[in-house]
Structure 1
Amino acid sequence: MNKAIKDKVIVVTGANRGIGAAIVSTFLEEGASKVYLAVRDVKSTKDLESKFGDRVVTIQADVSSTQSIQALAEKTTDANIVINNAGVGTPQATISDNVEEDFKFQLEVNAFGLLRVANAFANTLEKNKGVLVQLNSIASMKNFAQVSTYSASKAASYSLTQGLRTELGAKGITVISVHPGPVATDMGKSAGFDGGATTESVAKAIAAGIEQGVFHIFPDDMAKQVGSAYQSFAENIVLADFSE
């Protein structure tokens, strides 16, 4: 059992498939008492409900809607850990048709979605001395041309995650930024990445990172290569205190 997860109440956005579904299973295995499945389509969690029974609760939620996320937060005031996993990733080069519309869409979900979740849950997580986990990507640190707008949207969400670490950290909230490489999901396939890490390995790395209390999590082999190269910059710049 993971001491940081045992008996805790978890909220997972985008919980119905891919990394989100793997997080649900892993965290329940690690002793979580309940997981709220925050999804756009409430019919999409039937398999998880059949498997875990009353240990999971499905709630309709859409990270692209401020009203929807505020309503989610109002229904889950017992949350100890909020994992903002919901995101979009469409193949889109920088020089391409409809690039502006695509970039706006990805920012709306990947960056503004984080802002909505963080603001809606700030009071609950402060009260419960909780944890906010944001699913970012190694693409937040390096732009991949075939998914250029996705990379840029994740760079924005990573920057916001750093700001949240400072602001929410002062209130006793732990903020964690997760940076997977290619993962074997539908999103990974659509982006042109074959194979990739398993969703289960990413979920287990997130659970371990929460227990360790680290800010950056690099869950797979490719991500660890990036993390190793990034370590000095992270320690001396990203995590450094420039207030003095």
Structure 2
Amino acid sequence: MDFAKLFSLEGRVAVVTGGSRGIGAMIAEGFLAAGAARVYITARKAEVVADTAARLGERCIALPGDISTIAGIEALVEDLQTRETQLDILVNNAGVAWGAEFESFPEMGWDKVMNLNVKTPFFLTQKLLPMLKAGAAERPAKVINIASIDGLRINPWETYSYQASKAAVVQLTRRMSARLIRDNIVVSCICPGAFPSEMNKAAKNAPDASSKAIPSRRVGDLEDMAGGAIYLASRAGDYVVGTPLPIDGGIVNGWIPDDFADPSGH
């Protein structure tokens, strides 16, 4: 075993949904640094996707589109099929949150969140299955679903559909992994804690305040997220099947400080 290549993604082709900013952009940057041949990033706002791809370099390719619908998923898959014959890594990261009081929580806030956070990862993986099978011919292909620590424990905020959706992603990962391992496709899951992003403005705009509730006493950064994703995507993670991996500085399994303040910002 060449341990120097244990965490290498040399020659691998990846797709990262929601890859234009936040956690998705961190993962894309990490994959490229680990040697991925090409990393396709997708999100709705074409200009933002193009800007991120330009920042990350020529091996990062913008693939804008709206994958919140089956039609959008199929369009993305068709576009990718004109560029690649196989796919080695799929990161289902695109997501949305919604907060409202219990008495007034709207149906729109339920459907929008559940559709993008739960329905899209399932059907995008389903539609990309032939390409993932092709990528798994010689070594395992990888599907990494991005859930949240809010799928493992509650937070103080009234984000009902978000928390339900992320718990669903954790269980969906387990069910998908049991089926897709038969095709040499390893499905796993990352549960991020507080990382600076547009969704988590508290960690982005007030990291010191957010850090008070984190045993590690800081919010997550690029290296934390990229490191976890590279581990799961590389040879190092080939035997990690169906597992939710918290990357949270110890929130889920650590102590609750006396000066607790919710770090999620949702």
- Which residue of the partner structure matches residue 116 of structure 2? 109
What TM-score comes out, normalization by structure 1 length?
Answer: 0.83
Measured in 1, the distance between the counterparts of 2:78 and 2:183 equals: 20
Over 3 Å counting, the alpha-carbon distance change for 1:90 and 1:222 in structure 2 is farther
1:120 aligns with 2:124: no
Query: How many residues are matched?
Result: 225
- Which residue of the partner structure matches residue 172 of structure 1? 184
What TM-score comes out, normalization by structure 2 length?
Answer: 0.77
1:118-140 residue CA offsets vs partner (Å, 9 max, x unmatched)? 11111211221111110011111
CA contact (8 A) 1:181 1:223 kept: yes
Q: CA RMSD in A?
A: 2.3
Tell me the SS of whatever aligns to 2:63. Answer: strand
**1:206 CA drift (Å):** 1.3
Measured in 2, the distance between the counterparts of 1:156 and 1:149 equals: 10
User: In terms of Rg, which structure is larger?
Assistant: 2
Measured in 2, the distance between the counterparts of 1:190 and 1:111 equals: 24
Tell me the SS of whatever aligns to 2:61. Answer: strand
Structure 1 or 2: more helix by fraction: 1
Q: 2:237 aligns with which of 209, 212, 218?
A: 212
Tell me the SS of whatever aligns to 2:58. Answer: helix
- Which residue of the partner structure matches residue 238 of structure 1? none
Tell me the SS of whatever aligns to 1:96. Answer: helix
Could you list the runs of 4 or more consecutive aligned residues of structure 1 that deviate by over 6 angstroms after TM superposition? 190-193
CA contact (8 A) 1:103 1:153 kept: no
Which structure 2 residue ranges, 5 or more long, are not aligned?
A: 212-218, 255-266
CA contact (8 A) 2:8 2:34 kept: no
CA contact (8 A) 1:19 1:200 kept: no
- Which residue of the partner structure matches residue 263 of structure 2? none
CA contact (8 A) 1:91 1:190 kept: no
With 130-139 and 155-164 compared, the bigger mean Cα shift is at 155-164
CA contact (8 A) 2:152 2:252 kept: no
Measured in 2, the distance between the counterparts of 1:208 and 1:68 equals: 30
CA contact (8 A) 1:202 1:220 kept: no
Q: 1:68 aligns with which of 66, 72, 92?
A: 72
Aligned-pair identity (%): 26
**1:53 CA drift (Å):** 3.6
Over 3 Å counting, the alpha-carbon distance change for 1:145 and 1:57 in structure 2 is same
CA contact (8 A) 2:196 2:202 kept: no
Measured in 2, the distance between the counterparts of 1:205 and 1:55 equals: 21
**1:29 CA drift (Å):** 0.5
Measured in 2, the distance between the counterparts of 1:199 and 1:92 equals: 30
Tell me the SS of whatever aligns to 2:253. Answer: helix
Q: 2:45 aligns with which of 41, 44, 49?
A: 41
1:78 aligns with 2:86: yes
Measured in 2, the distance between the counterparts of 1:52 and 1:105 equals: 30
Measured in 2, the distance between the counterparts of 1:18 and 1:116 equals: 23
**1:60 CA drift (Å):** 2.0
CA contact (8 A) 1:6 1:30 kept: yes
